[in-house]
A and B are shown apart, each in its own frame.
Chain A
Amino acid sequence: MNLALKDIRHNLGRFVLTCLGLSLLLGIVLAMVGIYRGLIVESLGLVRAAGAQVWVVEGDTRGPFAEPSRIPGDMRAAIATQWGVAAAGGVSYQNVEAQHRGQTKRLLVVGAQIARPGEAPRVVEGRPILRSRYEAVADRGTGLALGEQIKLGRDTFTVVGLTKDLVASGGDPVVFIALRDAQKLQFDLTPSAARRELARLSGASGAIDTVNAIVVRLLPGVDAKRFAQDIARWKHLAALTQEGQETVLARSVIDRARRQIGLFTALLLIVSTVIIGLIIYTMTIDKKKAIATLKLIGAPDRRIVGLIVQQALAMGIFSFLTGAALINAGQGFFPRRVVLEPADAAILFGVVVVACLLASALGVRTALKIDPASALAG
């Protein structure tokens, strides 16, 4: 005879309503973890999309995802001729605000060379960029459709291909354009500013053939770490392996988000624990007479403790499962990508179980202090 379940059944409405409230809280906890995972997947997704094994960047910098990095575009040819290089491509990254269907959209514009490392990977619809001017491959997150046009800077681009789930670490969807277009977008001045600049430099023109990084694909068997060390000997260049670049990104970009999300997750878990604790305490107080009667007729303490703890666990587990189902069903409606991994869910489930055990402590303490003689009082 499970007294906990009998009592839950007796107060089913209150139990279900309480669990629904708790499930929303636990659902938010799961969503926070999912958003964090999504952040990692998205951030690393862009770095991994380049398909590089080595990132060559400006000397004494950690690459374009951590700090400004500019190197001459013609350096690509010098890198490409190094022993062990299969392919190399210059890339640039810039955040741009663009108007689309009357809305201002913030985009990460990636400039990449056609058919070279760094260009748009996995075009799920349409085709890659084939012409060096005014073509774009956009992520579906931009809301752009195939054949649609978008104005970036002073030029209008036609969307020829679409990618999926490719966004910057800040959540901005990615648009790929040809490197030359990207350089023009970055350095072209308005006519009046161009005239002023021309006069200031007395005829000398500033070089616009710069890139933020050169991504390198190596031949099979070539050690990326060793290659990066060799490149780093060039005084004006630095090189990171793909693994190193991902670490830099994780540390500099994701770490703060992880701490923020971790803090909110911890706070929500504490709030959930306190709520479960208070509800279990209230339920115990409601059952004071029943517990006193059970003690008086001879029920051992383990039965009383079992009644309280099982109810706390039932509440936590039911709420967790409902919360997980809610978030699973609604993850498409979140403004950020939510990645729910079974391992995270399992860990959170364990944390919820521990929280329930902690939360039931107050109820258990109260129940154990109930005087059996109080059952005799009218």
Chain B
Amino acid sequence: MTGQPVVEIRLISKHFGEGLARVDALREVSLDVFPGTVIGLRGPSGSGKSTLLNVIGCILEPNSGSMSLNGELVYSNKWLRADLRGLRLEKIGFIFQSHNLLPFLNAWENVAVARVMAGASLAQAKARALELLTYLGIERRKNAMPGELSGGEAQRIAIARALANDPRIILADEPTAALDSQRAGTVMDMLRKVATERQTAVIVVTHDEKIFDHFDHIYSLRDGAIEQPQANAA
């Protein structure tokens, strides 16, 4: 791994509640994620992996530490940017466990919507959406509504949406939880392809052991702290 990490986390802590009710969700977590890598975050329920994902996604404010995304220091004991949604739109793509496609938009519109939110015209957004659907091999389903898509197809559309604004970071929350082994493998192959070809850092929260061999590194979280990372032999 060379170059500048796209995600650079230093001593990030986050707790919920105070006094006896205080729960330390993250304890001085530090993490670097480099472009072109796919890393996994695993751990038991309550270990802090979702909290870490929310912090990296600028959804949840930590209590202390610092965080840089794509070279920009965005948190240093406080948010340094007021427009966090703009920041997400610009730098981060999200993939969800249940794909979260908007039920009232068809496949290409679901991809284009992220681009439109970033200020692109509908024509530009559509062109980009069709390009991504072709890239992910699902252009034939461009006019299908989410209810007409299989789980694997829907997840590929969701990946396309995550890529719509060319983010350097993709955060995926259990993206294969609802898929069988074959489709889970296909989705992970696509994330690998995206990471490699677009030099995107992909961070995946997962419990799914069948996809562990798709990661460059797997970080285990326990009680809000990262245990020693395991480089993947595969």
Contacts and interface: CB of A to CB of B under 8 A. Distances in A.
Interface of A: 1, 3, 6-7, 9-11, 289-290, 293-300, 303, 372-373, 375-376, 378
Contact-residue size bin, chain B (C-beta under 8 Å from the other chain):
35 or more
12 contacts: A3-B113, A6-B105, A290-B104, A294-B102, A294-B117, A297-B89, A298-B87, A298-B90, A298-B117, A298-B118, A300-B117, A376-B59
B104 A376 contact: no
B88 A11 contact: no
Contacts of B174: 378
Nearest to A299: B117
Given A300-B85, A373-B54, A378 B103 contact: no
B117 A373 contact: no
Interface stretch (B30-38, B93-101, B131-139): B93-101
Contacts of B103: 10, 290
Given A1-B112, A1-B113, A1-B116, A373 B102 contact: no
Contacts of A293: 96, 100, 102
Given A378-B98, A378-B174, 18 more contacts: A1-B122, A1-B125, A3-B113, A6-B104, A10-B103, A11-B104, A296-B57, A296-B94, A297-B88, A297-B94, A298-B86, A298-B89, A298-B90, A300-B85, A373-B54, A373-B59, A376-B53, A376-B173
A7 B102 CA distance: 9
A11 B104 CA distance: 8
Contacts, number: 78
Contact of A372 (B59, B102, B116, B145): B59
B153 interface: no
A41 B161 CA distance: 62
Contacts of A11: 104
B50 interface: yes
Contact of A7 (B50, B60, B104): B104
Interface string B104-122: 1100010011101110001
B59 A296 contact: yes
A300 B54 CA distance: 18
A6 B161 CA distance: 18
Contacts of A297: 88-89, 93-94, 113-114, 117, 161
A295 B100 CA distance: 12
B177 interface: yes
Interface string B25-56: 00000000000000000000000001001100
Interface string B61-91: 0000000000000000000000001111110
B117 A296 contact: no
Nearest to B97: A378
A296 B223 CA distance: 26
Nearest to A10: B104
B38 to A, nearest CB: 19
Nearest to B116: A1
A126 B96 CA distance: 81
A295 B58 CA distance: 12
A81 to B, nearest CB: 82
A378 B109 CA distance: 23
Contacts of A299: 85, 89, 117
Interface in B201-230: none
B104 A9 contact: yes
Contacts of A6: 104-105, 109
A300 B85 CA distance: 7
A338 B134 CA distance: 61
- Closest A-B pairs by Cβ, 8 of them: A298-B89, A10-B104, A7-B104, A298-B88, A293-B100, A298-B85, A299-B117, A373-B59
A289 B59 contact: no
